[in-house]
A = this chain, B = another copy of it.
Amino acid sequence: MSNPQVLRRLKTIEGHLRGIIRMVEEDAYCIDIIRQIQAVEAALNKVSGIILEDHLNSCVITAIRGDDPAERERVLKEIQEVFETATKV
């Protein structure tokens, strides 16, 4: 995974998170902090979606077309796992 768009988004999120830390230090209103945390989470979800898209269009295609059944199974299992975790966080 080396995608300039992903890197740029993550750095923006890092700035957003530093802003939240500052809010806590400056004793901001609780609900405003929670809302900013939820915005960071939504932005992280977006990044995960972009990374998954890249992954599906590269590693997953390669593995499924490859000759190694164990590798194929591993790659598909991973997708199911990140999906299941996605429904939990």
Contact = CB atoms under 8 A, between A and B. Distances in A.
Nearest to A47: B37
Interface residues of A, number: 60
Interface string A58-89: 01110011000000100010111011111111
A80 B52 contact: yes
Copies of this protein in the complex: 4
Nearest to A29: B1
Interface in A11-63: 11, 13-14, 17-18, 20-21, 23-25, 27-31, 33-35, 37-38, 40-42, 44-49, 51-57, 59-61
8 contacts: A2-B24, A10-B17, A14-B18, A38-B82, A41-B45, A57-B76, A61-B72, A88-B89
